[in-house]
């Protein structure tokens, strides 16, 4: 297993959530996604915890390094999208429809990918 340099960065983009990302020396990635006006009415369930979601307020995720770095990135993006969607659904009581879900996933994925680039990950 390779060693990694610890790194931390913050991505703030127009029309995207603010993402604080960090990588530790084992290659594990974690991020906190700041979205305005989220006030989830529940905590993380066991299924979400297994997927790497640590908290819904604010949405926070962590994934371990995998053999394939690309798969580690995919796991992080997937967990981040799921965390924000779960937090938003718990706040509003509804999904907002398929368009809202797709837009949320697109914006979160875009911001997480940009944050990964800021810490030097090849994505």
Q: Is residue 31 part of a domain?
A: yes
Q: Is residue 104 part of a domain?
A: yes
What's the pLDDT at 28?
97
Number of domains into which the chain is organized: 1
What's the pLDDT at 2?
73
Q: Is residue 99 part of a domain?
A: yes
DSSP code for 7: E
Which pLDDT band, with edges at 50, 70 and 90, does 68 fall under?
A: very high
Which SS3 state, helix, strand or coil, does residue 21 take? strand
Q: Is residue 56 part of a domain?
A: yes
Q: Is residue 106 part of a domain?
A: yes
pLDDT at 87 over 80: yes
Q: Is residue 111 part of a domain?
A: yes
Q: 39 phi and psi, to 5 degrees?
A: -140, 75
Q: Is residue 1 part of a domain?
A: no
Distance CA 80, CA 59 (A): 7
Q: Is residue 22 part of a domain?
A: yes
Residue 81 belongs to what domain range?
Answer: 7-118
List, for residues 7-61, the tens digit of each pLDDT value.
999 999 999 999 999 999 999 999 999 998 899 999 999 999 999 999 999 999 9
């Amino acid at each position: 297993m390779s060693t990694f340099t610890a790194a931390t960065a913050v991505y703030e983009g127009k029309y995207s959530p603010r993402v604080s990302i960090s990588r530790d020396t084992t290659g594990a990635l974690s991020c906190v996604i700041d979205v305005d006006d989220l006030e989830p009415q529940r905590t993380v369930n066991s299924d979400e915890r297994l997927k790497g979601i640590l908290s819904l307020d604010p949405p926070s995720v962590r994934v371990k390094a995998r053999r394939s770095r690309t798969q580690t990135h995919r796991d992080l993006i997937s967990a981040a999208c799921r965390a924000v969607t779960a937090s938003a659904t718990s706040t509003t009581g509804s999904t907002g429809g398929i368009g809202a879900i797709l837009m949320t996933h697109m914006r979160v994925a875009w911001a997480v990918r940009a944050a990964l680039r800021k810490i030097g990950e090849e994505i």
